[in-house]
């Protein structure tokens, strides 16, 4: 029992250390970056006092920049007073003003899109309080997520101490088209009967951008040393309807053999995502005709994400 506690503690401590180090490293690097932009492009500028100015960059020299900011006209800002300067994507430039970047652009509920995270970025996510996970992008095309549940720790330490790891590779194929693949491996620290872990190997394509996208995926499950003969299909999407609101859906099509006849079993989801500049909250429901018999609106899903 003691060795099991040590193992789960090591996993938890490792994830927490990774999250802390990456957050501090990202903050340190951003603080060291020189304030420099390309005239003609739109930027969001955060000053040392926390105020934010957005607009098109007119000029840039060693001491100051000049921003054309809507009704304020040309604004001169000394570089010594600037904390950060971030380019605003065309998709975030709206007639009613500039939107902050989507803080949770690469993930739906369970699965992810093929749109890659930028190198050095990532997120921490908590699902229903009991599942904690984190993801970090080591390059512009490769990221690794991992997580663990804390129910086992709270339940008198009896196990089974479930955890997962999820490396992903993705890249841009063409304008608004992305391709990717990942492996999801899940297991327990404490053995449960003959359970030896399970995994899925997934490939997917995404069309769209960080605010509005659609992903089609196919995956094969692995258990007991062999892959499933039939793949699982998923279709997922998100659409951002305002600066702070988006809708998310993730849907699974699972082939099953019943009485020697192949049938497709579907599970769909629908949810709303509340957006902050670095945070998001998902309130969603998983449903199908069987679930609806007991819970008409579906099984609730709640998660909270912090981007870094």
For 220, 255, 256, 263, the CA distances from 260, given in Å and listed in that order, are 20, 12, 9, 9
Quick one: fold of 1-87?
A: SH3 type barrels. (2.30.30)
Class of the 103-307 domain?
mainly beta
More confident residue, 277 or 22: 277
Max avg pLDDT among 15-24, 84-93, 162-171, 187-196: 162-171
**Least confident segment among 15-29, 172-186, 240-254:** 15-29
The mean pLDDT of 279-294, rounded to a whole number, is: 98
More confident residue, 36 or 182: 182
Residue 10: predicted pLDDT: 54
pLDDT tens digits along 68-110? 887 678 899 999 899 888 889 888 988 778 899 999 999 999 9
Q: Is the pLDDT of residue 277 over 70?
A: yes
The mean pLDDT of 267-284, rounded to a whole number, is: 98
Q: Is the pLDDT of residue 27 over 70?
A: no
- Separation of first and last alpha carbons in the chain: 36
Residue 17: predicted pLDDT: 52
Q: Domain coordinates of the chain in residue numbers?
A: 1-87, 103-307
- What backbone phi and psi angles, to 5 degrees, belong to 176? 65, 15
Q: Is the pLDDT of residue 3 over 70?
A: no
pTM listed for this prediction: 0.80
Residue 34: predicted pLDDT: 62
Nearest in space to 39 (alpha carbons), one of 18, 67, 14: 67
pLDDT tens digits along 116-135? 999 999 999 999 999 999 99
Residue 14: predicted pLDDT: 53
Q: Is the pLDDT of residue 6 over 70?
A: no
Q: Is the pLDDT of residue 7 over 50?
A: no
The Cα angle at residue 113 between residues 288 and 85, in degrees rounded to 5 = 135
Max avg pLDDT among 45-49, 262-266, 278-282: 278-282
| pLDDT > 70 fraction of the chain, expressed in percent and rounded | 88
| Cα 80 to Cα 85: distance, rounded to the nearest angstrom | 12
- Map residue 65 onto helix, strand or coil: strand
Residue indicated by tokens 């390309």: 38
Q: What is the layout of strands, in order, in the sheet containing 82-87?
A: 74-78, 64-68, 52-60, 42-47, 82-87
Mean pLDDT score of the chain: 88
pLDDT tens digits along 179-233? 999 999 999 988 777 777 999 999 999 999 999 999 999 999 998 888 988 999 9
Residue 152: predicted pLDDT: 85
Which residues, other chains included, contact 164 with Cβ-Cβ below 8 Å and sequence gap of 6+? 133, 146, 147, 148, 184, 185, 186, 187
């Amino acid at each position: 029992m003691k060795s099991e506690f040590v193992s789960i503690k090591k996993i938890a401590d490792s994830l927490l250390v990774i999250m802390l180090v990456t957050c501090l490293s990202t903050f340190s690097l951003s603080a060291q970056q020189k304030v420099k932009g390309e005239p003609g492009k739109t930027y969001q500028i955060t000053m040392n006092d926390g105020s934010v100015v957005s607009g098109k960059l007119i000029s840039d020299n060693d001491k100051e920049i000049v921003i054309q900011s809507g009704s304020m006209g040309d604004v001169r800002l000394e570089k010594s007073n600037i904390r950060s300067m971030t380019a605003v994507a065309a998709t975030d430039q709206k007639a009613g003003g500039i939107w902050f970047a989507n803080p949770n652009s690469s993930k739906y509920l369970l699965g992810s899109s093929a749109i890659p995270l930028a190198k050095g970025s990532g997120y921490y996510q908590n699902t229903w309080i009991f599942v904690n996970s984190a993801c970090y992008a080591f390059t512009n095309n490769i990221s690794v997520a991992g997580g663990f549940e804390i129910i086992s720790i709270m339940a008198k330490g009896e196990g089974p101490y479930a955890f997962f790891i999820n490396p992903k590779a993705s890249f841009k194929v063409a304008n608004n088209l992305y391709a990717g693949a990942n492996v999801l491996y899940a297991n327990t620290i404490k053995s449960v009967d003959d359970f030896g872990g399970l995994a899925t190997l997934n490939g997917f394509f995404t069309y769209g951008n960080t605010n509005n996208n659609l992903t089609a995926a196919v995956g094969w499950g692995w258990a007991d040393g062999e892959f499933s003969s039939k793949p699982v299909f998923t279709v997922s999407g998100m659409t951002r309807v305002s600066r702070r609101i988006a809708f998310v859906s993730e849907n699974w099509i699972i082939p099953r053999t019943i009485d020697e006849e192949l049938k497709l079993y579907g599970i769909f989801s629908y949810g709303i995502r509340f957006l902050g500049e670095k945070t998001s909250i998902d309130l969603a429901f998983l449903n199908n005709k069987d679930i609806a018999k007991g819970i008409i609106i579906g099984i609730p899903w709640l998660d909270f994400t912090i981007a870094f």
